[in-house]
Structures are given as C-alpha cells and as structure tokens.
Chains A and B, each alone.
Chain A
C-alpha cells in the first residue's frame, strides 16, 4: 500500500540547525527535505497517530554539539515526541492527554540551556476535550506549561480561549504571545528554572480580530495582523509590568502621563503604529533576523517586505496562491514560504527568487454550484502512473502517484491568478489519451449576468518530456454556448468526442491541412469531423469502448451507441430512472456500466450484445473505474444520499466482477465525497517481484476529496506492497564525500573502539580545499593565507573526532 498526497502546509515547517534540511509536517509523519535538491531525504514515522501540528528543532548550542540533530514534535493525538531526525529514530515520547495544537519551547532558544540539570518547559496550546463540542461558547482552548524533562505539567492554565490558538515565541525566548479575538496576550517568561507565578502577562487591545503576531528579534516590539489587512506595531511593550526592578520604575515618572500615540485602552506600550496594504486577512508576520524588515503575507499571494524604520514596502508578487507561513532558516540567505496550494517555496533571501519548490499535490477547489455536475478535477494517466489535477490557478498539475511528487504543471489559461471569493474561470474537464500523448482541457468562463461567458476547448500534444504538453489547437465555444458535459479520447486513434448539454456531440479528429496561404507551412490541428444528436436531448456522458470501435453516448436516460467513423447510430439501450451521469465500458468485455447521480441513484451494468440491463444497484455512486483489460471494475459509493446536508463523506469501494452483482471485495474509506478511482499498472521499476510472477497486476488508486490517495492491490487481502519504496528516489547529496573528508572519515572509522559510531551522521563540513586552490595561480591569494585556512579545516575535523569521544564517554 502506498499513501501519498499529504498536505505539506497544514503546519509551519522548520529548518534544521545547519539550514540544509527542512522538516515538513505531512499528516502523521514529519518529512525531511533537502534544501539544495528539494527532494525528500527521510521521514519520521511511527511516533504519532494523528496530524503533527508543530516541529521544534533543538538548536546547536556549543560547537561540540554540531552533530546533534534533534527535534520535538507535537501532534493532535496528545503526544510529544523527541526525535533524532538525522537517523529518523524516535527517542522519547511524552503523553499530554490533550490534542496539542501548537507548541513552543522558548528556553531552547537561549543557547546552552540544553545542558544537564535545567528543566525544559514546553508551552502548549491544547484543546480541552472534556468540554462538549456542542457548546459553542465554551472555552475550548487552553495554554499550558509542561516540563518535558520530568514529563509533568507545571502549574495551572495560563489562559483559556474560545478555540486553541497558535503560540508565538520571541527569538530569545523571553516572550510568548497568542492572539485572542481582538487582543494580544503576551507573557514574559523568566530564565531557567522559574516558578509558575513568576510569569507575568499583559494584554494589547485592538478593534479588529487579530490573526497573527510576531516578536522583534532584539527590540521589545511586537507586530500583529488583523483580518482586515492592517498591521499594528507596538513599540516597547510591557515597560511597567515586565520591568525587572520595581524600584527603578518608581524613580522614573509615571509613563501614563505621557502621550501614547495610537495606543488603546491605556495598554502598557509606548506607542503603536498601523500599516495597511493587505486588502484581506494577514496570514503571517515575521521580523527578519537582523530586525530591519518585517515580512507579511496573506490571501493575495504577495510577500510584502516592510522596512521597519521608514515603512517603505517591497513586494514579491505572483506566488500563485494564498500564503500561510514564512520561516527563516539559520542561513540568512534562505527562507521558505508555505502556500495554501500545498507548495513550499524556498526563497533566496535578499532577492526573494524561488530557488526550489517542494510541491505537493494541489488541493481541490470549489466549483460554482450550478456547474458542478460537469466537472472532473482529476484524470489519470495509466502508463506512467501520473494524475492530472486541475488547479485553482488555471493549471493542470501532473503528479507522480508512485513517487509522491510533482512532475510538471501546464498552464491552461494564460491569466494571472488572483485569489477571489467566487470562481469565474476554471478548468472544468481534463482528459488524457490512453498512451498519454494527447491531452484535452475545457476551461469555462462564467458569464457576468449573462455577459461574456466562454467555453474553450484546448488540445495539447506531449512534448519531449514526460507530462510536458504543448498547446496544439484552441477551439472557442465548441458547442456554441452550451456547457460541455464530457470529453473522451478514442483509444488507438487521434480522435476525441465532446458531448454537450445543448443536445449535440462532436467528433474531433487530428489532421493536417494546408494553411490559408501557400507560403505558410502545413499546419496541423484538430477539427470537427462530425456532429450528431439524439432527439435533441441533452447529452450527459460520452465514452469510447476499449478497442475504440463503439462510441457510447448517454442522452439523458437512454444510452446510444454510434459508429465513430461513419457517425451512424447503431443501437439504443434501455431506460434509467434519471439522467445518466457517467458511462464506462468494462474492459474489453461487452458490458457497459453507468451511474446516475440524482435523487434516485442507480448503478447499472448494461449488456451491449443483447441491448438490455444486466444488473443494477441503488447505491450513490461517486466514481467508477474499469480495468482496461479485465472484466472487473471498482465503484466508489457514498454511504449517504446526495441530498444529505450533513453527509460525513464516508464511503465504500466495491470491487465487482462484471458477471456477478455481488462485489468481490469491499473497503471502507473516509472523505469519499469528491473522490475518484483508477486502475494503474504496477510500476515495474518499483515492483520487480510482482512482475516476475508473470501476473499482470493492476493496482487500484483511490484519491479522496482532499486529494490524498492510497494505492493498493485489489486482488490480495494483505496489502503487502511495502510503503516507501520511493525512498530510493531521494537524492542523498549529503552522503557524498570527497578528498580529505573521505580520508578523515576512514581514519575515524578504522578505530575499532568507535565502530558503533558509524551511524552518527556527518554534518557536511566546509571543504575549503575544494575551492581555495582552484583558479589560476596569479589570482590565488598568498600561500600563507591559504595554508591557514587549509589547516584550520583540518583542525576542525580533529575537533569533531574528539567530540565523538566525548559522546562516547557520556553514553
């Protein structure tokens, strides 16, 4: 069983301490990506059973601990885990009992606090599950303190909020804050080994709902963003309350006499300024590590860089989707921004160029309601195991199911994406031919009060790369102004069919014809070969048989069979109770499966040899997939009727043999609404063992409404396909060692005493000899300078060796 398609942007990612790895929360696991290649290195799994909500990397204190790569993770399953993420090992697990929504460990930030003896306090934002969920007004969110050293809670609650809020800590670990409705709560946390009652708190007030906050790295400055797009900056907060020495304060004059510009409710700050650029909610705020700039971002997909002293702005536009988090790495030239389209962009810092993208499968978007019937967001390309997903920013994303990463993206409509409330232009249908060489898309512009609607059919041919498609033909309004209901390619031919609710279908062929003038080259393109209709009824579905000899078109309740070459009506089958939503031929057999989607749901299997209904079920079908060769098909059925408002979305996958109305196998799934199914051939590169058996194994892939997917073998009870066969894909760029490193590595390993330290991963050290001696001799600096740096590198290596010995002694 292979799972994939997790959301990378559910929680903020974290950089490792050397800035070369990125820890991304992916569902119940934490995936570690290489910053330089953008590929997954390893995965921390087995610790959590629910969504991981935050990752805190233990910083490197002294240079002696440079090898250490440890992190704390918190999860909704009420546990906190301590990992060695270099070797992907779980070290410690702490039970909290409450779902943890956010965790910060401020004392980690102060260097050296990881030494023995000091307690490690984690501040947790937990959900109080004792209070019933039906009580809307109850305070479900709590902020608690937990001592991770002795695994005991400390003191009582810091505060209670309506919902669990995200915790923010300042860089030096002195302050902690949450945004609670129209207020910011800020605590000052004393240094190590504090008592609970030493923690002091202030509140800062605003008139709008605050959504995020950020602490300045050095100054006593806090910024808050609200849901109207304003950014407030409070200077010098907590001068009275957090003052170390009360006597000193009394000596000065009472600050309340002074004018406090922009401050509400006589808050404990000197002044407050407001900046406004974002038109909607501010999603993140982040002070740069040097404290000169403030980064902010929101729904409109633009990172705004504010110069704090002057308020001047710089922009990084066209990131393509609403932004969620901004994370800075210890390396000042690198940071990353998480977008809500499941992408994490790594930015080269001063210029903010995207150097790499960690791209997950793009999430589904909501179609406008009345057009929902005629949309399929997902198309599978059988041969290479790719899925094509139409995305909100008018693209088709190709995603490798077996490797769980994005392959390419095809821009269907050349238009700048602006996140808006209502979708006016969307890619409605995507179809890919069986061999993957052709693609067709339909994009729809919704008219503004019956003005300017446009349906556009585009044909694409594959380029030289996998999943690289080039536009070949554009057809505006293929069925005048009627909506296109389905789009299908004919297997083995350069032919496609579109059917429309306007009552006609068109067969398109790819052919070459001479250009208008003789000078221009011969042009190739798609053109309409024939048009057909059946009694003027709306045509709701169209499909070719597996060998391409028959075209089946559903005219509401009737199924009509056509000869696609001569465009002659061959036969008609049966009568369903309500209009057919989708048709599919079952493999190479004579049977046809259809389902209807309205109030009287029905799944029917038709025989084309005697033109009659074979069997049917009254189940709410969401998707059907037929294997290409065998006479089997899988059905995704919902457990609730479509009219149900509060449908949970649980569903069942039935695996039928076409001769038998009793399913061969069933599986229950969640989030089935909007899901899809497909048969894929087992990827030979991944599963040599099954290929040698001689059995042509088909795998079934189920993609749920959130675009998370599972690939499994429908023929076997046990899911023996091992997970993570894709691990081999990860580029282990850190593994390579050259020149002196390899020599030094060998030296340490040859020491029999330290044999068991071979697992200790080597942090890639600087290798100055690779660069300092390169270049022409006249351009080289004097040899004395080179020598020092060369020897320094050697010395450093020696130190690391001694570190190993120290660790050894500790153990």
Chain B
C-alpha cells in the first residue's frame, strides 16, 4: 500500500484551499450557465452550493480570506444578473423570501445580502427596513471567522447605498441616523466575534491565535472607516451617537487587543476637529480599559495628533486651530491623572511617558504657558512621592523616560532662565541618582553655552548652581572611585565656560553674582576648583575695571574695588589651600597688574601684597626648576609692566627678582633668569618718578656680565653657545636702546667668542638651530650697518 505522505500544516492548508476553490470554480461556472439560460432557481442552487464552501472550519483565516474573495467575486455575477433583470422590469416575486429557504445559514445569509442589495438598488424605499433586517439576521452566524467575513460582506455590499442625508426625504429610505445604527450594530457584533476568537481553542495556541486576530482586525476596523466616511456625520452626531457607540463597545468587550486597536483606530480615522470636542469622553474611556492595554501609546498617539494639528493650523492662514473653549491641556492633564490612578499596575516609566506627552502637548499647543509645563512636573513629582521613590537609578527605564521629560523644556525653551521659572524642575532633578543628575546638569550647561544664555541676577545664579550642584560639589550619593579624568576635565571645563555667562550689566549685581558663585564653586573640592575659581577671579578683575570706568558716577567705587580685590585674594588663597601653586601665582600676578591700573586709594599696598604673595608662592611652593624659571620669568615680566610702585616698594621687588634669578639651581636657568631681570633695571617704572623707565645702564650691564660669567661656567658647549647667542641678543637690544654702558667692543667680544666655539659643536639639529639664530642676529646687525638710521646710533667698528 502506498504511504500517504504527511503534509505540513502549510501544505495541508494549500490542499484544502485548492479543493474548495475548485468546487467554487465548477459551481460558479454552472451558476453562470443557468443564469445565461434564465434558469434563476437552478442558478441560485449552484450559488448556494458554492457558498456552502464557506461553511468550512478547516481553513486558517488567511486561506479563508482567499476563499471568501473568490466566492464573493463570483457572487457579483449573480448580483449583476439580478440587477439587470430587475431593471428590465422582470422582477422575480418573493425572491428575498425564496433565497431564505436555503437550509444552511451561511449560504442563506450571503444570498440574502446579495438579493437584499439588489432590492435596495432597485427600490430605494425598502432601504431602511432591509438594512435593519440584514444586519439583524446576520446574528445567526456566531462562529467568529465565518461571522466576521459574512458581516464584512454585508459591509462591503452596502457601502454605496447607506443613506447619508441628515433628514430623510422619505422615511423609508432612511437617514444617516439609520446608517450609524446599522454600522454600529455590525461593528459591535464583529468586535464581539473577534474578541471571542481569543477564548477558543487551547492555551498553547495562544500566540498563533493572537497573530490570526491581528490579521483579522482590519475587518473590524473597516466599520469605523465606514462611519468616518459618512459625510453628514457632523460633530453633534459624532458626539452623541457615533463615538459613544464605539466607546461603549470598546470598553465593554474587556479585551486588551481589541481595545488597543479600536482606540487607535478612532484616533486615526476621525478628524481632529472631532477629537478636540470629545476629549473627555475618549479619555474617560481610556481610563476604563483593561490593565493589559498600553494606554500610554493611545494617549500619546492622540496628543501627538492634536499637537501636530494645532501646529498645522497655526501655520496655515484661515484655518482655526484649537478652539478657545477647548481647554486641551486641562482636559488631558485631568484625564491622564485619572488614568494613572485607575491603573495601579502601570509601570512608572509609562506614567512618566504620559507626562512626556503632556509636556509635548503644552509646548506645541501653548508655547508660552510655562505654568502648564510646571504643572506636569509637579504632577510627576507627586507621582514619585506617592510611589515612595526617592532615588531613580541611572539608565533604568524610568530614568530614561524622566530624562526625556526633563530635556524637553530645555530643548524647547533653549533658555536656562525659563527652566528656572519651573519651580518643580529642581526637586524633580533631585530624584535622579548621581549619574542621572550629573548627566542632566551637563545637558543644562551645554544648552546655556550653545544659546549664550546669561544669568543676570544673584537669585537666579543661586538657583542654577543649586540645580547643577552634582557638577559643582561632591555628592552624598556619589559612588566611590575615580572618574575618567578626561571626562572630568571636559565637564569642569564646561562649568568654567559657564561662569562667564553668570553676568549682569549692573556692577553691584555682578558682585553679588560672583560671591554667590564663589560660595557654590568654592565647595567643589580641590579637584574642581582649579577649573572653576580662576574664571571667577577673572570675572572679578573685569568687574573692578568696570567700577573704575564708572568712577565718576559711583563715589563708592574705591571701596568696592578694594572689596573685589579682597574677594579675589581670598579666592586665590583657596586655590593655594588646595595645594596648587602655579595657578594662584599667575592669578596673583594678573591681579597685581589689574590693581596697578586701578588707582584707588591704597592700591599700591594691595598690588604689593599681590606681588609678595606671588613671591612667597614661588619660594614656598614651586620646586621644579623648569617651573621656577617659568615663574620667575613671569614675575619679572609682570613687574616690568607695572608702574604703580614707589621706590620704597620697587627696590625690594626688583632686587628680589634678580636675587631669585641668580639663585636658580641650574646654570643655564640662572643665566637666562639674570638676563631677563636685566630689563627690570632698564624699563622698570616707579610711581615716584612719574612712571618713567629706570634706565639704570650700569645695573643692566652688571646683570648681563653676570650672565656671561654664568654662561662660561656651563659645561655643555652646545648650551654655552646657545646662551651666548641669547645674551648677544640682549646686548644688542640694550645697545639699540642707547644704553651707553654697552659698547661695540663688548659685542665684538661676544661675537668672536661664539664664532670660535660654534664650529666645534657636533653637527646636529640643535646646532643647526643655534647657528640659524646666530646667523639671523648677524644679519640684523649687517642690515643696521649698511643702512644706518639718520639719527644717532651707529655700529661703527663692529666686526662681523
């Protein structure tokens, strides 16, 4: 015996479908033959046999759909035939009754609908009653799949004949009211059948069943589409008949899949103008949906639609946007909180997501209502209080949602000042854990920097910095361990930039701002303050200049300046406490220059203090030789610039510089330091002489000679030559500045020495550079020789 091969489910479906389709083909052919020969009754019999194929329980929804399509396609022949006959006046008596003798209900109802449609088309006064009759009779098919398709056929057939007039011209032809009743009833029945599918068969097939339901949902949804296509359904009818009907069914079916789909369907198929006027009803129903329904998505979908609508309406002239009587935000806000209350199991991230959509709504529809946004934040805060949440873990779903929520106002307002108006922003921010807070704080700072937002009052600065405290100060919940130093530097760098945005045009206010900022940033531990205090100091110096500029208007300016420099002094000292040296040194020097230009009472003393602070830092804190040279160079350069000191103060400072330079550890450093200090005796300025340069040529020469002496002591010939070249440049400088102590002879001596040593150097890159430096220097001198300036200065006797 041949074995029958086991067919896979797919093949089995194909086989069953093929069999059914071949029956359909044969019966359809015979039906058409009979109709061609005007044998109506025989034709109907074949149609009925053909329709009998739709009684099957073996086909999957997909295959059943194919079968349905094939059969309804053939039924159209019957419909056309009957329509033709009726048009020609060859009306078959009692046809509507005749087809009802079919023993099986499925074929009977398909025939009933087909014939019913022909009746309606040829005799419109039957319309109202026939529609009611057909939709009522379809109740006989309670099998979900067969019932859904039967009712779909009803809906398809009647789509062009549904009455769509507000008031019936003829009672029996019906009005839109009848169409609404008709579709709503069909919809309710289809939905019930669709929901029932869920509860049939084994639980192990659940997934497959839900997939099949997804495939079939469009059949149910078509009812709503049909309702939306009725042109005479105005707002009033929608509000009183259509929507309540749909919602009643959606809520009462208690099936999550159906509810989610239907609510989405309502949003998508009906116009926004209707939604706006029926928000209460719609949202109230949302609160009554099953727990498994993702209400969040439904609400968000609606809000997004309305928000887009409002923007579209705003953009196009002539259309009305959201009517003033629709308090869109309040309605949503109230209903969303009802929904949240009624759904105890809603995950917090979904709750927050709803708030996100509310904020979006507020932004898109009411861009200037900051209070709306704040209200959402308050609600969110209260929700977390109710949930007893006091820490939101970084990167958890709820943290991601809440971050989204918090970023929206930042992105929309692009102003930190507006964020400050949101009273509940800060408290909400505090709910995040360390990482979350820091993340958002950095976001806020970046936004302010990008938009160049200035924070103009002390109170605002205080508030902002409190909000940003996770960046500014160590936090109680900060996890142990080091952060990535690069990230840290970058983040603190942001803050440094941000400090320049804490700015008021009113000097007194600016002072308050700076002291507030100082308070906040000062608590930032040493790893932070090196980034954050210097900008404050610089801001303070700038403020001092401002007061000076306003000295004619503000009689208190001197006192204020003094106070500012006190403030700076303290601030810089804080950096010293944090074991920093070079940075405070530079700040003191910068401060000294600033003070020197101020000319307020007592300013020399202050400047001296700043300089002496720099010196003591140099002496106590800087030990690296390179750093020492750099520091002394900087100190000397600063001092050379200043003209505020009397001889009494000037003398110890310049001597101290020269002394410090000569005490440097390495010979080359000594040499260079002394050479640098030589300038102090030439261009250094004293207040006692009215700011004139000292021009003490003798002391200059002493310094340079000392330099040459130290240079001679260097062991490395390469370094030695390099130092000589540098010294030569110093000599030339002073020679050209008319220092009479510097003679051509001295220059010749030095040049000779260099010439002597240079060829002995090893040929390498360094030598190359030294050589180049020397050659350039000689070139300069040669130029001077060849084209002597008209007045004075000549290089007579120079040997090149």
> Is B one of A's binding partners?
no
A-contacting residues of B (Cβ < 8 Å)? none
B-contacting residues of A (Cβ < 8 Å)? none
